[in-house]
Chain A
Amino acid sequence: MVSETPAALVDYAIEYGKDKTDAIIARATLSSGSQVRFSQNAIDISKRWEDLKLELFVVVKGTKAGATERPVSTKSDVKQAVDDIVEFGAILPDSPFYAGIEDKVQPFPNLKGQYDENFDAFVEDAPGIINSVVDSAVEEGAKRVAGAIKFYKRSFSFKSSQGPEGSDQKTFFDLNVRAFQDELDYSGQGLICGVKPSESEKALLEAGAKAGRLSKQSIGAKQGAPGTYDLILAPTVAASVIGEIPELAHPILVMMGLSPLGDRIGEQIAPEFVTASDDPLYAGGLASRVFDWEGTPCRTTKIIDSGVLKSFLHNTSTAKMFDTETTGSSDLVSFGMKVLLPNTSNIVFNNGDFGIEEIMDVSRPTIYVTCNWYKRYQNNLTGDFSTIPRDAMFLIERGEMKPIKNLRISDNTMRMLSSIDALGNDRVQVYWWEVTTPTVIPTMRIRDCRMTAATQ
C-alpha cells in the first residue's frame, strides 16, 4: 500500500465532507525530518521521522466547531476521519468563539527561496558535518561539546469548502551546540537556524566555534553579586525575555488572563526606536507562509510600532468578535487539543543602530547575558517573571569583561521592554528549546534590571 498525495487527500476530504458540514477545512502535510544528537564530542543518536498528517476543522449545526489531527494514507482513512469529527462535532456545545472562516478566494503573495533543493543529500552528510561542528568548538577551546541539529522537509495541500485552497513546500533546520570545559560551570552556546541546510555548513561550523569561544571565555567565572544592573541581552536572551511580548498581542490569551497587553492598545509600551511585527513573509523565516490556515492571504502586521502597541493578531472569528479585520493569522493551534485560533508566524524586531562594541561601551554596572533558560511567570497579567542565565555571562566593569555565574533575572517583562536603551545592529533569527516562535531580534541593552542569587 502506498499513500495518496496530500492534494488527493484534501480534495477527497472536502468532496466527502462538504455536504455533511456547514464548513470544512482540510490540510494534509507530508513531512520527513531528521536529527543528529550529540554529547561528550560524540553522536548519541541519529533520527528519522516520516509523517503524513491530516488536520480537519469542521463547523456543524451552525456554530459547533470541532477539530482533529490524525495520520492518514488513503481516501478510506480520510472518510473515517471526516465521519468521526462530524459525529464528534455534532455532540459538542455551541462555540461562542466561532464567528466564521475565510470565504473569499484571494491571490496569495509571493515568497520564494524557502525550499532547499539539495535537502535529501544533506541527510546522510549530517553526521559527518556534526563531527566537524564538534571539532570547530574544540579548536576554539572547548573540552566537551553537546548539541542537536534537526532538519525537515515538508509539503502540504490545503482546501476549504468556502473556496480558498493552496499548497506549499518548505525546508528548515536548527542547530543548538553547547561547549563545556571539564567543569560543569564554564559553558558557551552557539545557535543557527534557517531554511537551507545544504547551504549552511559554514554557519553551522561557526556556531560550534562560537560555543567553544564563549566556553573558553567563561573559564574562572566567579559568583555574581545580586543587585540592580543594566543588562545586555544577546539575541538568544532578548528573544526569550522581550521577543515573547508581541506574541501576547493575542485576543484569546487576553480573554484567558494570560497576557499583559489587554487594555493597552495605543499605549507607548516601549521606546520609540522599537518596532516589532508578526511577519509571515519574512524571507528565510522558519514560520514563513503566504496564506493562513483558513486561506486568508498573509501580511506583515506591526504589533509594536515605534514603541506603541498598535495591533493584535486575528483570524476571521476573533476579528468579527472584536469588530476589526483579520490579520491573516489563523492557525490550528495545539491547545491541549487542536483549536482554530490566531497564532504568530515569525516575530521580527527592527534592527538597531549600535555595533556590539558600542553597546558594550558602558559606564554603569552592566551584565552581558548570552543564553537563558527556564523562564516562568509569577503573573502573566503583569509580566512578573524570572529566568536563569546559562552559559557565558559577563560583568562589564571599567572596560573589562569578567566571567560571572549563578545569577537569576527576576524582573518584569513589561518594565524591561519599556527600559530598552539600545538596540544592536546584529539582528538574527533565534529558534531553539527556549524560543519556539522564530524570532528575528538584535542584541538589547536594558536599564536597571534586578538580578538575584541563591541565599544559601
Chain B
Amino acid sequence: MVPSLNDGKDLSDYCVEFGRKLGSSYVEARYVKDTTKGLAFRNGEPFSGGFSPSTGIGVRVLVDGNMGFASFDRLEKGLAEEAITIAYKMAKNAKRKDPIDLGQPVSNKKKWEMPVREKLTDIDMDTMMSFSTDVNKQMEGLDAFNFLVRSKMVDKYLVTSEGTQIECELSYLLMFCYMTAKGDRGSEQRNIDFSLAGGWERIADTKLVERVGDETQRLKMVASSAIKVDDLLGQPVDMVVGSEVAGIIAHENVGHPSEGDRIMGREGAQAGESFWRDLKIGESRVGSDAVNVSEDPTIPNSSGFYLYDDEGIKARKRELIKNGILNEPLLNREFGTRFGIGSNAAARSSAYNREPLIRMANTFFEPGDYEFNELIEDIKLGVYMRGFKEWNIDDRRYQSKYTGSEAYLIKNGEITDTMVKRPIMETTSVGLLSSLDAVTKDLNLNFAGTCGKSDPMQGVPVYAGGGELRFRQIRLGGVG
C-alpha cells in the first residue's frame, strides 16, 4: 500500500517528539509523497513508460550546535528511531567549535497549493499519448529528436519542534526535447526544457506544442544557414540577447553567487564559493545602473513557485542586485542568522532524502524602459543572440561562457538575415554586467531548468528570464 498523507504526518510528528527526547535542541521532520509517471520517445516512437510513487521522511536534528540529518523511506517507527539516533550520534561527534544557530524560533502554520485547474491525476495515458504525438510531429524532419514527458505530483508536510506545520501540494509537467538538425552547415543540437508548473491546462495556456514547432524550425535554420562572420572578431561589438540568454545570465552570474551558503563557504567542495564573498552588500557595484536582478518564488505558474520554504518561512521577492549594486543575498535560517538579517525563505529540498539548502526559485532581470527595436537601432555592428547551447561558469561564478545557437548579424541598426554560427560571450560576471546598458520593457520567464547543487546532487525546478538585454562593446571569445 502506498502510505497515506496521514500516515506520514503521524510519523513525522513522532520523529519530532523522538528527536527532542534524544536531546536535540531543534527537530524538523518533512514527509514527502510524490508520484511520477511518464513516457519517453525517440524519433516519435515510444521506447519506455514508467510509473514511480515515492514516500519518505527527512529529519534534521540540531545537537549542541551540530546538525544531523536522517531519512528513511519506509514509514516504520523502529526504523525512524534507528536512523534518527545514528544521525544524532554522528552530529554529537562532529564537535563544532562554532555552533550552528537557526535564529529566532519560527512557528508558522499554513496549507497552500500550486494553482491547478486540470489535475494531473485526472489525465489518462491516452491523453498523454495524444499530446506526445502532437509534440513529436512538430519535430519531424530533424535528424534526431527525443521527447521525455513526466507528470509529477508532490504532497509535503513539514513539522518542527518550534511549532511550524506547513502542508502543500505541488504539480509539475516535466518535459524535455533533445533535438539534432543537420544542414548544409553541419549539425546543430539543442536540449530544451519545456517544463511547466500547474495542471494539464498549462500546455494549452503556454501554446507548448506550437513552441516546440517554432524551436524546431529555428534549429533547422541554424544548421542550414549559420556561418562564421570574421568581422565580428577583430573588434568589440554590441550584443543583444534574448530572454532565454537573459535567464541563464540571471541564474548563473547573479543568482548562484548570491547564495549565502556559498558566500560563507559551505558549498566549497561542491558547487563552490562566490565572488560576492569579498564584496559588500549594499555597497559594491558589480554592474551598470541598468542591472536589476530579482528572485521571486511567489510567481504563479512558475516552476520555482512556493509560498513557504522548506524551513517553514513565508516566501517573498528578493532583489539581488539593484541598479548594479549588490542588494540582498539568498538566505535560509542558518545563514540568515550568520548574516544577521534573518532568512528570506530560500530553503528548498528536492526530495525527502535531501537536506533543505539555499536555492533559487525564479530569477530574472527586472523589466527596463526600452522597446526591442530601440535596442537595435543604433548598433553599427553586433549580434542578436536569441538562444544558447553550451555554457559554463567557474565555481566562484566569475568566469562565464555562453555559446550562441540561434544568432543573427546586426548591421547598421537592423537585424539582418545572416545567421551567425556559435558566437561566444566569454567574460567575467562583472565585465558582462558592467557592459549592460539597456533592457526591454517585457519579462519572459521562458527559461525552464533544473538547478543542480550540493552532494548528493539536488536538482530543483526553476525558471529564469527577463526581457531582451543589450551589452555594449563585447569582445567575442570566438565565432563559428
A127 touches B394 (CB 8 A): no
A49 touches B129 (CB 8 A): no
Q: Counting CB contacts under 8 A, is B42 at the interface?
A: yes
Contact with B along A142-158 (1 / 0, CB 8 A): 00101110100000000
B187 touches A455 (CB 8 A): no
A127 touches B94 (CB 8 A): yes
Given A34-B90, A51-B73, check contact A256 B178 (CB 8 Å).
yes
Given A45-B355, A456-B431, check contact A91 B94 (CB 8 Å).
no
Q: Counting CB contacts under 8 A, is A413 at the interface?
A: no
Chain A: minimal CB distance from B293 (Å): 19
- Report the contact-size class of chain B (Cβ under 8 Å from the partner): 35 or more
Most chain B Cβ neighbours within 10 Å, of A45, A252, A387? A45
B66 touches A406 (CB 8 A): no
Chain B: minimal CB distance from A250 (Å): 13
Q: Which residue of chain A lies nearest to B91 when distances are taken between CB atoms in the complex?
A: A46
Q: Counting CB contacts under 8 A, is B348 at the interface?
A: no
Question: How long is the Cα–Cα vector from A384 to B273 in the complex, in angstroms?
Answer: 28
Question: How long is the Cα–Cα vector from A35 to B355 in the complex, in angstroms?
Answer: 12
List residues 1-43 of chain B with CB under 8 A from any CB of chain A.
1-2, 36-40, 42-43
A84 touches B390 (CB 8 A): no
A42 touches B98 (CB 8 A): yes
Contact with A along B247-284 (1 / 0, CB 8 A): 00000000000000000111111101101011000000
Q: Counting CB contacts under 8 A, is B189 at the interface?
A: yes
Contact with B along A418-456 (1 / 0, CB 8 A): 000000000000000100000000000000000011111
**Number of chain A residues whose Cβ lies closer than 8 Å to a Cβ of chain B:** 97
19 extra interface residue pairs, beta carbon distance < 8 Å, beyond A49-B83, A93-B49:
A45-B67, A46-B91, A48-B69, A50-B82, A51-B56, A66-B48, A71-B74, A73-B74, A88-B49, A97-B47, A124-B89, A147-B268, A184-B273, A252-B47, A337-B148, A339-B48, A386-B390, A406-B399, A456-B475
Question: How long is the Cα–Cα vector from A80 to B180 in the complex, in angstroms?
Answer: 40
A256 touches B49 (CB 8 A): no
A46 touches B90 (CB 8 A): yes
Question: How long is the Cα–Cα vector from A252 to B176 in the complex, in angstroms?
Answer: 17
Interfacial chain A residues near B186, Cβ < 8 Å? 382
B40 touches A336 (CB 8 A): yes
Interfacial chain A residues near B42, Cβ < 8 Å? 97, 252, 255-256
Interfacial chain B residues near A126, Cβ < 8 Å? 90
Question: How long is the Cα–Cα vector from A144 to B268 in the complex, in angstroms?
Answer: 9
Question: Which of B67, B91, B269, B476 makes the CB contact (< 8 A) with A178?
Answer: B269
Q: Which residue of chain B lies nearest to A73 when distances are taken between CB atoms in the complex?
A: B74
A95 touches B47 (CB 8 A): yes
Report the stretch among A16-24, A308-316, A372-380 that lies at the interface: A372-380
Interfacial chain B residues near A379, Cβ < 8 Å? 187-189, 389
Chain A: minimal CB distance from B237 (Å): 11
Q: Which residue of chain A lies nearest to B47 when distances are taken between CB atoms in the complex?
A: A97
Contact with B along A70-84 (1 / 0, CB 8 A): 111100110010001
Q: Counting CB contacts under 8 A, is A381 at the interface?
A: yes
Question: How long is the Cα–Cα vector from A290 to B67 in the complex, in angstroms?
Answer: 38
Question: How long is the Cα–Cα vector from A97 to B146 in the complex, in angstroms?
Answer: 14
The 8 closest A-B pairs by CB, nearest first: A337-B50, A146-B268, A257-B144, A46-B90, A71-B73, A43-B94, A374-B392, A257-B180
Given A42-B96, A45-B69, A92-B46, check contact A455 B427 (CB 8 Å).
yes
Interfacial chain B residues near A35, Cβ < 8 Å? 455-456
Q: Counting CB contacts under 8 A, is A128 at the interface?
A: yes
Most chain B Cβ neighbours within 10 Å, of A50, A53, A124? A50
List residues 373-408 of chain B with CB under 8 A from any CB of chain A.
389-396, 399-401, 403
Q: Counting CB contacts under 8 A, is B359 at the interface?
A: no
A interface residue numbers (CB < 8 A to B): 1-3, 34-37, 39-40, 42-53, 65-73, 76-77, 80, 84-85, 88-89, 91-97, 123-124, 126-128, 131, 144, 146-148, 150, 176-178, 180, 184, 189, 252, 255-258, 335-340, 373-382, 384-388, 390, 406, 408, 410, 433, 452-456
Write 30 A-B pairs (CB below 8 A) sorted by A numbering.
A3-B74, A35-B456, A36-B90, A39-B265, A40-B266, A42-B94, A43-B95, A45-B69, A46-B69, A49-B353, A50-B74, A67-B48, A67-B50, A73-B74, A91-B124, A91-B125, A148-B269, A180-B273, A255-B42, A256-B42, A335-B148, A337-B38, A375-B392, A378-B390, A378-B422, A386-B390, A388-B393, A455-B474, A455-B476, A456-B431
Question: How long is the Cα–Cα vector from A258 to B148 in the complex, in angstroms?
Answer: 15
Question: How long is the Cα–Cα vector from A382 to B180 in the complex, in angstroms?
Answer: 12
Given A255-B144, A388-B394, check contact A88 B37 (CB 8 Å).
yes
B392 touches A388 (CB 8 A): yes
A376 touches B53 (CB 8 A): no
Chain A: minimal CB distance from B96 (Å): 5
Contact with A along B49-72 (1 / 0, CB 8 A): 111111110000000001111111
Interfacial chain B residues near A339, Cβ < 8 Å? 40, 47-48, 50
Interfacial chain A residues near B50, Cβ < 8 Å? 66-68, 336-339
Chain B: minimal CB distance from A436 (Å): 9
Chain B: minimal CB distance from A128 (Å): 6
Chain B: minimal CB distance from A182 (Å): 10
B70 touches A373 (CB 8 A): no
B interface residue numbers (CB < 8 A to A): 1-2, 36-40, 42-43, 45-56, 66-74, 76, 78-79, 82-83, 86-87, 89-91, 93-98, 100, 124-126, 129, 143-144, 146, 148, 150, 174, 176, 178, 180, 186-189, 264-270, 272-273, 275, 277-278, 353, 355, 389-396, 399-401, 403, 422, 426-428, 431-432, 435, 455-457, 474-478
Question: How long is the Cα–Cα vector from A379 to B187 in the complex, in angstroms?
Answer: 8
A95 touches B48 (CB 8 A): yes
Given A70-B52, A131-B95, check contact A48 B474 (CB 8 Å).
no
Chain A: minimal CB distance from B277 (Å): 6
Interfacial chain A residues near B90, Cβ < 8 Å? 34, 36, 46-48, 123-124, 126-127
Q: Which residue of chain B lies nearest to A85 when distances are taken between CB atoms in the complex?
A: B51
Q: Which residue of chain B lies nearest to A44 when distances are taken between CB atoms in the complex?
A: B266
Given A96-B47, A256-B42, check contact A455 B475 (CB 8 Å).
yes
Interfacial chain A residues near B68, Cβ < 8 Å? 45-48
Question: How long is the Cα–Cα vector from A147 to B93 in the complex, in angstroms?
Answer: 17
Interfacial chain A residues near B39, Cβ < 8 Å? 92
Question: Which of B66, B126, B150 makes the CB contact (< 8 A) with A336?
Answer: B150
Question: Which of B93, B178, B275, B353 makes the CB contact (< 8 A) with A257?
Answer: B178
Q: Which residue of chain A lies nearest to B403 when distances are taken between CB atoms in the complex?
A: A378
Chain A: minimal CB distance from B191 (Å): 9
Interfacial chain B residues near A380, Cβ < 8 Å? 189
Given A44-B266, A256-B144, A339-B47, check contact A127 B38 (CB 8 Å).
no
B146 touches A256 (CB 8 A): yes
B455 touches A433 (CB 8 A): yes
Q: Which residue of chain B lies nearest to A3 when distances are taken between CB atoms in the complex?
A: B74
B51 touches A408 (CB 8 A): no
Question: How long is the Cα–Cα vector from A338 to B476 in the complex, in angstroms?
Answer: 42
Chain B: minimal CB distance from A111 (Å): 26
Question: Which of A36, A39, A373 makes the CB contact (< 8 A) with B267?
Answer: A39
A257 touches B47 (CB 8 A): no
B144 touches A39 (CB 8 A): no
Interfacial chain A residues near B78, Cβ < 8 Å? 2
Chain B: minimal CB distance from A208 (Å): 11
Given A339-B40, A377-B390, check contact A48 B265 (CB 8 Å).
no
Interfacial chain A residues near B53, Cβ < 8 Å? 70, 84
Question: How long is the Cα–Cα vector from A35 to B36 in the complex, in angstroms?
Answer: 27
Question: Which of B49, B97, B401, B431 makes the CB contact (< 8 A) with A386?
Answer: B401
Interfacial chain A residues near B268, Cβ < 8 Å? 39-40, 144, 146-147, 178, 180
Most chain B Cβ neighbours within 10 Å, of A35, A176, A257, A258? A257
A127 touches B95 (CB 8 A): yes
Given A43-B66, A93-B46, A148-B270, check contact A50 B37 (CB 8 Å).
no
Chain B: minimal CB distance from A30 (Å): 10
Q: Which residue of chain A lies nearest to B428 when distances are taken between CB atoms in the complex?
A: A454
Interfacial chain A residues near B94, Cβ < 8 Å? 36, 42-43, 46, 127
